[in-house]
Amino acid sequence: MAGTMRKRGKNSYYLEYMCEGERYGQSVKANSPTEAKKKLAIFVAEVEKGKYKKNYGITFTELAQMFLDKYAKNNLSDTTIINYKYQLNKNILPNIGHYKINSLKKLHIQDLANKECDEYNLASKTIKNDMKLISAILEKGIEWELLNINVAHKVAIPNNKNKPKKEQEIYNNEEIKLLFDALNNKAEEPFKTMVYISFFTGARRGEVLALRWKDIDFQNNIIHIQQNKIRTINGTTFKETKNKRSREFVAPETLMKKLKEYYSNQNKEDLLFNIYPSTYTRQWTKFVNDNHLKYITLHDLRHTNGSILASKGVDIVTIAKRLGHLPATASSYYLHAVSEEDKNASQKLDNLF
C-alpha cells in the first residue's frame, strides 16, 4: 500500500499508511492536492524508516506527570521535584499543558517564553529554567518513543530589560545595630538564637536548622557544620551540605555566650531547633517588617557575614572555608565589598581641598 489521503475540510487532509500490519494516520494542512501528495510521500518515508511515532493523544500535562512519576521520582531529589512542580503549575501547564504532545510546536514554546517576559515580567534566568524543564520533559518523551522532536530545543530566551538583576542586599553597621537591638528587646526564642547563628556563622538556612548539640564544641568555641535540613514531599529530612563537605570554624564569643544561654534553657534534645525551613523564613520576614528594619532575606544575612569579613581584610580563602563556598564563588560575592572605614578614609582625603 503506497499510502492514501482524503480531504477532511478546507486545506485539511488525512493521511494513512499500513506498515507491517499496523495502521498509521496523520492530519496535515495543505493548500492543494499536490501539496498533500508531497506530505503523504514524506509521511510514508518516515513510517518506513521508523521515524514516525504514533500520536497516542496524550497532552503535555500528561507527559509532564509521566516525567515526574516514571523518571523524577526515582532519579531526582525531593527538593528538585518540589521546584519542578512549582514551575509546572505556575506558568508552564496553564499555557501549554492542553496541547497534544505531537501537536506542540516550537512557536508555542517561544510564545510562552515571550509571554513570561512581557506579561509576567519574569527574569531571563527564570524563563530559561522553565524552558530547560520543558525541554527535559520532551526529551523523555522522545526516549519513551512518544514523539519525534524536541520543539523546546534552542528556544530564544528573551532579555527582560525591565527586570534588572537583583542587587545583593546586606546590612551596614548601623542596620546591624538596629537588628540586634530588636532581637534582644523584642524577639523570643528559639527565633533569636537562630538569627544569631545565621548572622555570626553565615551558615545556610538548612545548615542552621540541622545543627545538633554535639556539633557545638563549647570548650574550644568551635561549630561543626555537618548536615543540611531540607524540605521533602512528605516533610523534611537531613542530607549532606550543599557542596558535600562538612566544615568547622571558631565561633565569636558573642555567639557562644548566646548558645550557652540557650542551652541552659533547653531540654537538650539532639537538634537545637525543631522547625520547618519555610517557617523560619516566614518568622524572619514578619520580624523585619514588624520592627521596620530594612528588608533583606535570610540568605542575605549570609552575604552580610561574608562582606563584613572581606571588608575587615579577611582573605577570600578563609571566607570561602567558613561559608562553605568555593574560593572563586566567594570572590565573585565579596571582593567588591568596601568597608565603611575605607569610605571614611576617602572622605578625609576629600576634606583636604
Of 88, 122, 143, the last residue of a domain is: 143
Domain check: are 123 and 230 in the same one?
no
Of 143, 164, 187, the last residue of a domain is: 143
Q: Give the pLDDT confidence score for residue 353 in this predicted structure.
A: 37
Give me the number of domains the chain comprises. 3
3-state secondary structure of 216: strand
Residue type, 123: A
Domain check: are 326 and 223 in the same one?
yes
Domain check: are 181 and 234 in the same one?
yes
All three cell numbers of 32, joined, read 492543494
Distances (CA, A) of 154 to 113, 131, 140, 142: 12, 9, 17, 16
Q: Does residue 165 belong to any structural domain of this protein?
A: no
User: 18 forms bridges with which residues in the sheet?
Assistant: 23
Domain check: are 201 and 336 in the same one?
yes
Q: Give the pLDDT confidence score for residue 230 in this predicted structure.
A: 87
d(CA 92, CA 152): 12
Q: Does residue 195 belong to any structural domain of this protein?
A: yes
d(CA 208, CA 230): 11
Domain around 276: 173-342
Q: Does residue 257 belong to any structural domain of this protein?
A: yes
Domain check: are 36 and 85 in the same one?
no
Helix, strand, coil in percent for the chain, rounding step 5: 50, 15, 35
Domain check: are 88 and 42 in the same one?
no
Q: Closest by alpha carbon to 31, among 60, 7, 52?
A: 7
Query: Are 243 and 215 in contact, with CB atoms under 8 Å apart?
Result: no
Q: Closest by alpha carbon to 296, among 176, 210, 169, 116?
A: 169
3-state secondary structure of 164: coil
Domain check: are 213 and 296 in the same one?
yes
d(CA 138, CA 270): 45
Beta-carbon count within 10 A of 148 CB: 13
All three cell numbers of 314, joined, read 579577611
Domain check: are 44 and 71 in the same one?
no
Instruction: Check residue 54 and report its DSSP letter.
Output: -
Domain check: are 19 and 68 in the same one?
no
Q: Give the pLDDT confidence score for residue 352 in this predicted structure.
A: 45
Q: Give the pLDDT confidence score for residue 156 in this predicted structure.
A: 95
Q: Does residue 160 belong to any structural domain of this protein?
A: no
Query: Are 15 and 28 in contact, with CB atoms under 8 Å apart?
Result: yes
pLDDT tens digits for the chain (353 residues)?
578 998 877 888 888 888 877 777 777 888 999 999 999 998 888 888 876 666 557 899 999 999 999 999 999 988 899 999 999 999 999 999 999 998 899 999 999 999 999 999 999 999 999 999 999 999 999 898 788 789 999 899 999 888 776 667 899 999 999 999 999 999 999 999 999 999 999 999 999 999 999 999 999 999 999 999 988 878 888 888 877 788 988 999 999 999 999 998 776 678 999 999 999 999 999 999 999 999 999 999 998 988 888 888 787 778 778 887 665 555 556 555 545 555 555 455 555 43
Q: Does residue 156 belong to any structural domain of this protein?
A: no
Q: Does residue 23 belong to any structural domain of this protein?
A: yes
Q: Does residue 12 belong to any structural domain of this protein?
A: yes
Distances (CA, A) of 336 to 148, 165, 330, 341: 49, 16, 11, 15
Query: Are 205 and 280 in contact, with CB atoms under 8 Å apart?
Result: yes
Q: Does residue 150 belong to any structural domain of this protein?
A: no
Burial of 225 (0-12, 13-18, 19+ CB in 10 A): buried
Category of 241 on φ-ψ map: left (φ > 0), alpha (ψ -120 to 50) or beta: beta
Domain check: are 104 and 248 in the same one?
no
CATH number for the domain harbouring residue 254 = 1.10.443.10
d(CA 330, CA 73): 33
Domain check: are 222 and 310 in the same one?
yes
Domain check: are 94 and 231 in the same one?
no
